[in-house]
Amino acid sequence: MLKRFLGGIHPKDSKEYSSDKAIEMPPLPNNVVIPVSQHIGAHCTPIVKVGDKVKKGQVIAKSDAFMHSPVHASISGEVTSIAEMPHTSLVKCLSIVIKNDGLDEWIEGIPVNRDWDKLEMDEIRNIIKESGIVGLGGATFPTHIKLSPSKDKNIDVFIVNAAECEPFLTADYRMMLEYAERMVTGVKIVMKLLGVSKCYVGIEDNKPKAVKAMEEAFKGTSVEVVSLPTKYPQGAEKMLIKVLTDREVPSGGLPMDVGVVVQNVGTTIAICDAVVRGIPLIERVTTVSGDAIKEPKNLLLRIGTSFKEAIDYCGGFSKTPEKVIMGGPMMGFALFTLDVPVIKGVSGILALSSDVVNSGEESPCIRCGRCVEACPMGLVPSMLSILGERHKFKEAKEEYDLFNCIECGSCVYTCPAKRNIVQYIKYSKAQNLAQASKK
Amino acid sequence: MSSVTKVDENKIQDIKAKGIEGQEIKFTVSTSPHIRCDESISKIMWNVNLALAPAAIFAVFYFGIPALINIIVGGVSAVAFEYLVQKYRKKRITAFDGSAFLTGLLLAMSVSPSLPPYMMVIGSFIAIVIAKHSMGGLGFNIFNPAHIGRAALMVSWPVAMTTWTSFKTSVDVVSSATPLNILKQQGYGKLIETFGSNTEMYKAMFLGTRSGSAGETSTILLLIGGAYLLYKGYIKWHVPVLMIGTVGILTWIFGPAGLFTGDPIFHMMAGGLILGAFFMATDMVTIPITVKGQVIFAVGAGAITALIRLLGGYPEGVCYSILLMNAVVPLIDRLVKPKKFGARG
């Protein structure tokens, strides 16, 4: 019954480093650095100033723009600085530094205990918005916008993305085992919001324990837990929708165009916390792993904790890391410093030695076609890389569907000529966008 | 090795003492993805060479020392020419990645074992320097280099290229025509007569105990090599199966005594078809990049082969058919693209 998506690859999942490690909460950091932009959309503006005393859960930055998500203090203490600081994906970003007062006090009114079933829909949406919830899989799209599709989209399916197809990452996996109850509530809330009766939880079959745990947790509900064949990028939204519903998101379209909304495991749990207990998004589960980490772990980290502290808590490095990555090894960002804060989209902190990231020297394309076979989007990645190399950006866009690329990296993974195809594609996209904005 | 580890440990302790200062270690920063499969060009190329080894070794045993010399001369001269060209053009030296050796090996295997070695050297010069590097090197050549080398030798020394030897016994080397030659010049009846019976003929063609180019005679050993490449995923089944199948069907339909009187089994094993279909028509550089394109390529090459064999002046057409189809690959690649996600409905 399950459909397959074309293409894809089978990298070693490397989840054994951290899959059996229960989620731990390290001691609170002395300082947290909270960037005003941790989501897709408008940057927020700080509404506190240096010297202010803030409490856990207090809004410290917000925006009037439609596409935004507010930012909250993740510890109680004093604002010591507001300045440009290193950021995981933006390189630099205005950030608010809070010095821990050791009290870990909630701001007044939190936590609460609500009967969510009695809340109005708009009330729930507003709670989700005010709680600063964004897609925690890594894309950080503001969740309240995703949960407010226009009426004409006829949403009839909700999908929980529990594929966790990136190697090394086990945060979603641990959450499914340990936070199943909250996840069930979160899923129910979203289903009610969207007015759908059909919901799938898609889990790759390399996580049989999670499949079992979810089947038990969702027993007696209309939610269907589906074990999916392990194949990267199974967790890419469009692939997941194709496999579970046999609907194909049109090129350039969104899941809602085919009546589907997708949320990640962590996001559903954050929704439960926000709606039921009034707790905004101030912490997240992050996998700290990789062959260069001494004791890989799954950590519950306050937003703003530095990568350095998280890695220190895991015993530091066991060998010299060649790369430190935010996110997974297929789509994550390589960092130049450990002095960056954990933000809402950080699903993993990986330290990989040269044994794992040895990329080899790039050669010209030998046209082997492995990338064409691996591309889940039906593109010719080899041509896109060649056109990017030769600065033929327009041709890449018009004749080779440049913008259909989801940058999953399957082509690069499989390329025997070690070509940096995704790099050429990102470059070509940027050049095309620059060209378009000039006009 | 142990000293290296020690240095690293010191470095780590140093870092830990300073509390892992980000500045202490220089991290590599690059675009995702950060992990890659362990395939490489040289791994693929040497595996193809390995897949050719059984047939090449058989050639040495069956045709003797001249075949051995040609294989060594072909492989070594091809690598040497590639090395010199890259040195001269101040390019990265990739002469030892197996692809130049493969070209030389394929050239040696697709010419008569009795070809004088100096001609082999010239053939591999044309293959490597003209067909491959004047186009820009590996990945940029439009035509299969080994086949260009062979075609150049064919027009330059037609007699030497069509003088065939075969062992009748372990000591006597006899000059004899290839089965396709006999078919072309004397007809199907004479062909069967030469071998004694149909069964004997098929047996000789299957095992390789017949005259022909050095590496093309043993169907079974070439199939073993092809199966290895299929198993490793370096070639797809479409190309060899469709090319050989097309030749079989067309030669069966257009037989010597009217429609459906041909001998497809003979034609599929004859000449350089098995060698060409598994090892030349699958050369990733010179064939279409999509499976659909490869299907067109394979059927086209098979049809041209059959056309040349049945109607052309030459008894064999594998080399030219592949070269002709090579020429239209850029066109095929422009017209045949995979269906993109989101437009498949």
Buried b (16+ CB within 10 A) or exposed e, B116-127: eeebbbbbbbbb
Tell me which chain A residue has its CA closest to the CA of residue B286.
A367
- Phi then psi for residue A185, to 5 deg, are -60, -45
Burial of A54 (0-12, 13-18, 19+ CB in 10 A): buried
Helices A393-400, A381-389: crossing angle, 10 deg rounding? 160
Contact B33 A333 (CB under 8 A): no
Q: Taking Cα atoms as reference points, which of A142, A349, A331 lies closest to residue A236?
A: A331
Percent of chain A topping pLDDT 90 = 87
The interface predicted TM-score (ipTM) is 0.90
DSSP string, A128-174: HHHTT-B-TTTT--BHHHHT---GGG---EEEEE----STT--HHHH
Q: What residues in A contact B11, CB-CB < 8 Å? A: 320
CA-based nearest residue in chain A for residue B26? A336
Q: How far apart are CA A1 and CA A436, in angstroms?
A: 43
Q: Does B295 touch chain A (CB under 8 A)?
A: no
Overall average pLDDT of the A351-372 stretch: 91
- pLDDT digits 0-9 by tens, B113-142: 989 999 999 999 999 999 999 999 999 999
pLDDT at B292: 95
Which amino acid makes up residue B161? M
Contact of B305 with B323, CB cutoff 8 Å: no
Query: Residue A97: which of A266, A305, A275, A299 has the closest Cα?
Result: A305
Q: What pLDDT, on the 0 to 100 scale, is given for residue B228?
A: 98
Nearest of A162, A152, A126, A337 to residue A234 by alpha carbon:
A162
For residues A410 and A352, give the distance between their C-alpha atoms in angstroms, rounded to a whole number: 19
Helix (H, G, I), strand (E, B) or coil at A295: coil
Question: What whole-number distance in Å separates Cα of residue B335 and Cα of residue B109?
Answer: 34
| Per-residue pLDDT at A315 | 95
- Between the alpha carbon of residue A256 and those of residues A142, A155, A192, A249, the distances in Å are 15, 7, 16, 8
User: Which whole number is the average pLDDT over A347-366?
Assistant: 91
Q: Which residue has the tokens 């989620």?
A: A23
- Residue-wise pLDDT tens digits, B4-60: 333 344 444 444 434 444 446 788 888 999 999 999 999 999 999 999 999 999 999
Return the structure tokens found at A418: 């070690």
Which two structure tokens, joined as six digits, stand for A41? 């959309």
- Structural contact between residues B179 and B265, judged by C-beta atoms closer than 8 angstroms: no
Is the link from the previous residue into B33 a cis peptide, with omega within 30 of 0?
yes
pLDDT (0 to 100) of residue A227? 95
Residue A12 CB burial class (10 angstroms; 0-12, 13-18, ≥19): exposed
Give the mean pLDDT of A401-405.
95
d(CA A364, CA A366): 6
A-proximal residues of B, 72-101, CB under 8 Å: 92, 94
Q: Give the tokens for residue A36.
A: 């005003």
Q: Which pLDDT does position B162 carry in this prediction?
A: 87
Q: Are A75 and A32 in contact (CB under 8 A)?
A: yes
pLDDT at residue B26, rounded to an integer:
84
Q: Pick B289's closest partner by Cβ from A249, A369, A414.
A: A369
Check B22 against A317: CB less than 8 A apart.
no
What is d(CA A279, CA A127) in angstroms, rounded to the nearest whole number? 10
Q: Measuring CA to CA, which residue among A103, A73, A62, A113 is closest to residue A274?
A: A113
Contacts of B312 (CB under 8 A, 6+ apart): none
B294: phi then psi, degrees, rounded to nearest 5:
-65, -30
Residue A410 has pLDDT above 60, yes or no: yes
Q: What is the pLDDT of residue B17?
A: 38
- B337 contacts A368? CB cut-off 8 A: no
Q: Is the pLDDT of residue A348 over 60?
A: yes
Closest-CA distance, A357 to chain B, in angstroms, reads 5
Hey, CA dihedral for A406, A410, A416, A419, is it positive or negative? positive
The predicted pLDDT at position B344 comes to 58
> Tell me, what amino acid is at A288?
V
Q: What angle do CA A85, A86, A90 make, to 5 degrees?
A: 110
How far apart CA A356 and CA A351 sit, in angstroms, is 10
Q: What are phi and psi of A99, to 5 degrees?
A: -95, 130
User: Is the pLDDT reported for residue A132 higher than 50?
Assistant: yes
What is the tens place of the pLDDT at every residue in A293-347?
999 999 999 999 999 999 999 999 999 999 999 999 999 999 988 999 999 999 9
Q: How many CB pairs under 8 A join A and B?
A: 187
| pLDDT of the residue at B24 | 62
Cβ contact A366–B138 (<8 Å): yes
Which class in CATH covers the domain with range A31-100?
mainly beta
Tally of residues, chain A:
439
| C-beta of residue A180 within 8 angstroms of C-beta of residue A210 | no
- The reported pLDDT for the residue numbered B169 is 44
Of the pLDDT bands very low, low, confident and very high (cuts 50, 70, 90), residue A399 is: very high
Mean pLDDT of chain A: 94
Contact A320 B33 (CB under 8 A): no
pLDDT at A241: 96
Ranges of beta strands (E only) in A282-336 are 283-289, 297-302, 323-326, 333-335
Q: Which pLDDT value is given to residue B2?
A: 33
Percent helix, percent strand, percent coil in chain A, to nearest 5: 30, 20, 45
Instruction: State pLDDT tens for residues B266-301.
Output: 999 999 999 999 999 999 999 999 999 999 999 999
What pLDDT shows up at residue A393?
96
Q: Which of residues 205-244 of A touch B (CB under 8 A)?
A: 238, 242
The domains of chain A are located at 31-100, 112-277, 283-357, 370-438
For residue A411, give the nearest of A434, A429, A390, A386 by alpha carbon.
A386
CB atoms inside a 10 Å sphere around CB B96: 14
Q: Which fold has domain A283-357?
A: Ubiquitin-like (UB roll) (3.10.20)
CB A276 within 8 A of CB A116: yes
- Per residue in B94-118, pLDDT tens? 999 999 999 999 999 999 998 999 9
Q: What is the pLDDT of residues A53-71, one digit of tens each?
A: 999 999 999 998 888 899 9
Strand partners for A79 = A98
Query: What is the C-alpha separation between A344 and A350, in angstroms, rounded?
Result: 16
Q: Of all residues in chain B, what percent carry a pLDDT higher than 90?
A: 72
Indicate the pLDDT class of residue A51, thresholds 50, 70 and 90. very high
Mutate to test the interface with B, among A320, A401, A425 (most CBs of B within 10 A): A320
In this prediction, residue A353 carries a pLDDT of: 94
Q: Is B313 on the interface with A (CB under 8 A)?
A: no
- pLDDT per residue as tens digits for the range B306-339: 999 999 888 889 999 999 999 999 999 999 999 8
SS3 string of chain B? CHHHHHHHHHHHHHHHHCCCCHHHCCCCCCCCCCCCCCCCHHHHHHHHHHHHHHHHHHHHHHHCHHHHHHHHHHHHHHHHHHHHHHHHCCCCCCCCCCHHHHHHHHHHHCCCCCCCHHHHHHHHHHHHHHHHHCCCCCCCCCCCHHHHHHHHHHHHCHHHHCCCEEECCCCCEEECCCHHHHHHHHCHHHHHHHHCCHHHHHHHHHHCCCCCCCCCCCHHHHHHHHHHHHHHCCCCCHHHHHHHHHHHHHHHHEECCEECCCCHHHHHHCCCHHHHHHHHCCCHHHCCCCHHHHHHHHHHHHHHHHHHHHHCCCCCCHHHHHHHHHHHHHHHHHHCCCCCCCCCC
The ranges assigned to domains in chain B are: 41-161, 181-334
C-alpha A395/C-alpha B315 separation (Å) is 44
Instruction: Please answer whether residues B310 and B317 qualify as being in contact, where contact means their C-beta atoms are separated by less than 8 angstroms.
Output: no
Residue B285, chain A, CB below 8 Å: the answer is: yes
Strand A223-228 relative to strand A198-204, pairing: parallel
Is residue A103 exposed (0-12), middle (13-18) or buried (19+ Cβ within 10 Å)? Answer: exposed
Architecture per CATH, domain A112-277, reads as: 3-Layer(aba) Sandwich (3.40)
Q: What is the mean pLDDT of residues A419-426?
A: 96
Is the pLDDT assigned to residue B242 strictly greater than 70? yes
Interface residue B2 vs chain A (CB under 8 A) = no
